[in-house]
Amino acid sequence: MSQKFDLIAIGRAAVDLNAVEYNRPLEETKSFAKFVGGSPANIAIGSAKLGQKVGFIGKVSDDQLGHYVTQYMADVGIDTTQMVKDDAGHKIGLTFTEIISPEESDILMYRNEAADLYLTTADVSEEYLAQAKMLVISGTGLAQSPSREAILKALTVAKSLGVEVVFELDYRPYTWKNAEETSLYYQLVAQRADVIIGTRDEFDVLENHHGNTNEQTIATLFKYDPKLIVIKSGVQGSNAYTKAGDHYHFGVFKTKVLKSFGAGDSFAAGFLYAYSHDLGIETALKYGSAAASIVISQLSSSEAMPDLAKLTAFIHEAERQEVH
Ligand SMILES: Nc1ncnc2c1ncn2[C@@H]1O[C@H](COP(=O)(O)OP(=O)(O)O)[C@@H](O)[C@H]1O
Ligand SMILES: O=C(O)C[C@@H](O)[C@H](O)C(=O)COP(=O)(O)O
Across residues 101-128, what is the average pLDDT? 95
Q: What CA–CA distance (Å, rounded) separates 171 from 169?
A: 6
Q: Is the pLDDT of residue 323 over 90?
A: no
Q: Answer yes or no: is the C-beta of 252 below 6 A from any ligand 1 atom.
A: yes
Give the pLDDT of residue 270: 98
Across residues 41-67, what is the average pLDDT? 98
Q: Answer yes or no: is the C-beta of 198 below 6 A from any ligand 1 atom.
A: no
Q: Which atom of ligand 1 is nearest to the CA of 289?
A: 27
Q: What CA–CA distance (Å, rounded) separates 36 from 73?
A: 8
Please tell me the distance between residue 99's alpha carbon and the centre of ligand 1 in angstroms.
Answer: 16
Please tell me the distance between residue 177's alpha carbon and the centre of ligand 2 in angstroms.
Answer: 20
Q: Which atom of ligand 1 is nearest to the CA of 262?
A: 21
Give the pLDDT of residue 324: 61
Widest pairwise Cα distance in the chain: 60
Q: Answer yes or no: is the C-beta of 267 below 6 A from any ligand 1 atom.
A: yes
Please tell me the distance between residue 162's alpha carbon and the centre of ligand 1 in angstroms.
Answer: 31
Distances in whole angstroms, Cα of residue 102 to Cα of each of 23, 37, 106, 255, 256: 8, 20, 10, 11, 8
Q: Is the pLDDT of residue 300 over 90?
A: yes
Q: What is the mean pLDDT of the chain?
A: 97
Across residues 195-220, what is the average pLDDT? 98
Q: What CA–CA distance (Å, rounded) separates 195 from 191?
A: 10
Sorted by sequence, the CB contacts under 8 Å of residue 102 that are 6+ apart come out as: 256, 257, 258, 259, 260
Distances in whole angstroms, Cα of residue 154 to Cα of each of 42, 167, 171: 19, 12, 19
Q: Answer yes or no: is the C-beta of 107 below 6 A from any ligand 2 atom.
A: yes
Q: Is the pLDDT of residue 208 over 90?
A: yes
Buried residues in 134-170 as b, exposed as e (16+ CB within 10 A)? bbbbbbbbbbbeebbebbbbbbebbbeeebbbbbbbb
Residue closest by Cα to atom 22 of ligand 1: 264
Is the Cβ–Cβ distance between 116 and 107 less than 8 Å? Answer: no
Weakest mean pLDDT among 131-135, 171-175, 299-303: 171-175
Across residues 50-55, what is the average pLDDT? 98
Residue closest by Cα to atom 21 of ligand 1: 264
User: Going edge to edge, which strands form the sheet with 104-110?
Assistant: 32-37, 14-19, 94-101, 104-110
The ipTM (two decimal places) reads 0.98
- Tell which one of 16, 232, 293 to mutate to probe ligand 2, the residue whose CB is within 8 A of the most ligand atoms: 16
Q: Is the pLDDT of residue 67 over 70?
A: yes
Render pLDDT for 185-194 as a digit per residue (tens, 0 to 9).
999 999 999 9
| H helix or E strand, kind and range, residue 18 | strand 14-19
Please tell me the distance between residue 43's alpha carbon and the centre of ligand 2 in angstroms.
Answer: 10
| H helix or E strand, kind and range, residue 180 | helix 179-190
Weakest mean pLDDT among 20-34, 206-220, 268-282: 20-34
Binning pLDDT at 50, 70 and 90, where does residue 322 land? confident
Q: Which residue has the higher pLDDT, 100 or 180?
A: 180
Q: Answer yes or no: is the C-beta of 39 below 6 A from any ligand 1 atom.
A: no
Q: Which candidate, 18, 94, 16, 45, places its Cα nearest to that of 259?
A: 18
Q: Is the pLDDT of residue 129 over 90?
A: yes
Across residues 274-301, what is the average pLDDT? 97
- State the Rg of the chain over Cα: 18
Q: Answer yes or no: is the C-beta of 108 below 6 A from any ligand 1 atom.
A: no
Domain positions in the chain are: 3-12+42-54+122-320
Q: Is the pLDDT of residue 101 over 90?
A: no
Give the pLDDT of residue 103: 85
Q: Answer yes or no: is the C-beta of 230 below 6 A from any ligand 1 atom.
A: no
Distances in whole angstroms, Cα of residue 233 to Cα of each of 152, 198, 199, 251, 267: 28, 9, 6, 9, 12
Residue closest by Cα to atom 15 of ligand 1: 234
Q: Answer yes or no: is the C-beta of 95 below 6 A from any ligand 2 atom.
A: yes
Q: Is the pLDDT of residue 121 over 90?
A: yes
Give the pLDDT of residue 73: 99
Binning pLDDT at 50, 70 and 90, where does residue 22 land? confident
Class of domain 3-12+42-54+122-320: alpha beta
Q: Is the pLDDT of residue 1 over 80?
A: no
Residue closest by Cα to atom 14 of ligand 2: 264
Q: Which atom of ligand 2 is nearest to the CA of 18?
A: 8
